[in-house]
């Protein structure tokens, strides 16, 4: 062993730490022949001695009793909140979950009552259907679109494109294109304008209120409007989030009493 290696073990030697027996023997043997290392070891041992004396001296020190008193006081004041917090949080979540379930059930019930499976479509005077999907099928569409792929989204629009094109191709004089009541020329014109562009792709009519189902027998007309694209989401339609700030065209079906009854989106 040389002085450099001795230096690496001198602390453990002086502090009487566990070390390999052979290393310990070699270090002690070196300290017996090397004067500098003897002095080094002696200083380290003396330092250890006094550090231990200091440690013993400080063993008896402790913080004042008021620290414990203060801590317990704080603990007592906090304990009720500590104990009730998890319970209140659980209760909060239970109440919130119950409220959500009740709201969902309520909405579903109301929709089912208003737009039952028997009211699947509203016929126009000339057997042209302004289809307003029953709630059940609307819900199905919404569900489908929630997980829809671009292909599924395209499929959703496709049938309507054909229908729209077919309808537009028919002569308007027969009236079978219109969604309005007979004899309402203005409404007919509006409808024609709305469907004039053969390239337009439309969704099916979606109900706008929980009032009585739309009856085009009573008259009404279509109004072309522009809405924020995000409005489509309210009807369960897929929205391209990259274009959510843009406007989208829509036809609002206004009944004879002046109330908006249904809407369809135009692409």
Partner 1 sequence: MKPDNSSDSELLQAMRAGDEEALAALYRRRQPGIYRFALQMCGSQQLAEDITQEVFMVLMREAHTFDPARGSLGAFLMGIARHHLRRRLQRERFYVAMSEAPDNGGLSSQVLVTTVGPLDEMSRTEAIEAVRRAVLTLPERYREVVVLCDLQEMSYAETAEILGCAIGTVRSRLHRARALLIEKLRPAREDDAASATVKSTRCFA
Query: Of 28 and 256, which CB lies nearer to partner 1 in the complex structure?
Result: 28
Taking residue 248's Cβ as centre, other Cβ atoms within 10 Å add up to 19
Indicate whether 87 belongs to the interface with partner 1 (CB under 8 A): no
| CB of 46 or CB of 247, closer to partner 1 | 46
Closest CB to partner 1 among residues 8, 126: 8
Our finding on whether 19 is near partner 1 (CB under 8 A) is no
Pick the stretch among 75-83, 128-136, 152-160, 167-175 that binds partner 1 (CB under 8 A).
75-83
Tokens (6 digits) for 90: 């659980």
- Which distant-in-sequence residues (6+ apart) come within 8 Å of 221 by Cβ? 179, 180, 184, 186, 187, 190, 191, 253, 254
Q: Closest approach of Cβ 56 to partner 1, in Å?
A: 9
The nearer residue to partner 1, 37 or 250, going by C-beta atoms, is: 37
- Per-residue x/- mask for partner 1, residues 24 to 63, rule CB under 8 A? ------------x--xx--xx-xxx-xxxxxx-xxx-xxx
4 binds partner 1 (CB under 8 A): yes
Return the number of the residue (35 or 147) whose C-beta is nearest partner 1.
Answer: 35
Q: Name, in order, each residue with C-beta under 8 angstroms of 223's C-beta and a sequence gap of 6 or more.
A: 190, 251, 252, 254
Question: Which distant-in-sequence residues (6+ apart) come within 8 Å of 39 by Cβ?
Answer: none
| Alpha-carbon separation of residue 170 from 39, 116, 122, 265 (angstroms) | 114, 31, 20, 21
Report the alpha-carbon distance of residue 206 to residue 6 in Å, rounded: 90
How far, in Å, are 5, 7, 25, 38, 45 from residue 2 at the CA level? 6, 9, 13, 13, 20
Judged by CB under 8 A, the residue of 2, 64, 118, 127 near partner 1 is 64
User: CB of residue 55 vs partner 1: minimum separation in angstroms?
Assistant: 5
Closest separation between CB of residue 236 and partner 1, Å?
41
Tokens of 254: 């206004």
* Distance of closest approach, residue 78 Cβ to partner 1, in angstroms: 7
Nearer to partner 1, 23 or 201 (CB): 23
**115 CB-near residues (< 8 Å, 6+ apart):** 132, 134, 135, 138, 207, 213
Q: Pick one of 20, 25, 32, 83: the residue that binds partner 1 (CB under 8 A).
A: 83
Give yes or no for a contact between 211 and 254, defined as CB atoms under 8 angstroms apart: no
Smallest distance, Å, CB 95 to partner 1? 24
3-state secondary structure of 67: helix
Counting contacts by CB under 8 A, is residue 78 touching partner 1?
yes
Q: Which is nearer to partner 1, 21 or 87 (CB)?
A: 87
Q: At what angle do helices 150-169 and 135-146 cross, to 10 degrees?
A: 130
* Position 11 contacts partner 1 (CB under 8 A): yes
Per CB under 8 A, residues contacting partner 1 are 4, 7-8, 11, 15, 36, 39-40, 43-44, 46-48, 50-55, 57-59, 61-64, 67-68, 70-72, 74-76, 78-79, 82-83
């Amino acid at each position: 062993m040389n002085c450099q290696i001795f230096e690496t073990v001198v602390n453990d030697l002086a502090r009487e730490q566990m070390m390999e027996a052979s290393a310990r023997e070699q270090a002690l043997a070196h300290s017996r022949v090397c004067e500098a290392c003897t002095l080094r070891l002696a200083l380290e041992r003396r330092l250890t001695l006094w550090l231990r004396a200091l440690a013993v001296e400080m063993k008896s020190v402790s913080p004042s009793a008021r620290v414990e008193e203060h801590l317990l006081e704080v603990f007592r004041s906090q304990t009720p909140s500590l104990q009730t917090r998890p319970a209140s949080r659980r209760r909060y979540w239970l109440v919130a979950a119950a409220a959500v379930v009740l709201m969902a059930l309520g909405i579903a019930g109301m929709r089912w009552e208003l737009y039952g499976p028997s009211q699947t479509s509203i016929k126009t005077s000339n057997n042209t259907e302004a289809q307003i999907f029953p709630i059940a099928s609307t819900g199905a569409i919404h569900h489908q679109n929630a997980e829809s792929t671009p292909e599924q989204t395209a499929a959703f629009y496709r049938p309507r494109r054909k229908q729209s094109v077919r309808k537009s191709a028919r002569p308007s004089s027969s009236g079978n294109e219109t969604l309005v009541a007979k004899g309402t020329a203005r409404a007919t014109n509006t409808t024609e304008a709305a469907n004039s562009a053969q390239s337009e792709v439309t969704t099916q009519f979606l109900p706008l209120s929980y009032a009585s189902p739309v009856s085009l027998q009573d008259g009404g007309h279509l109004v072309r409007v522009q809405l924020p694209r995000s409005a489509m989401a309210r009807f369960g339609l897929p929205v391209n989030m990259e274009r959510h700030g843009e406007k989208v065209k829509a036809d609002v079906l206004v009944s004879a009493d002046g109330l908006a009854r249904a809407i369809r989106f135009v692409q």
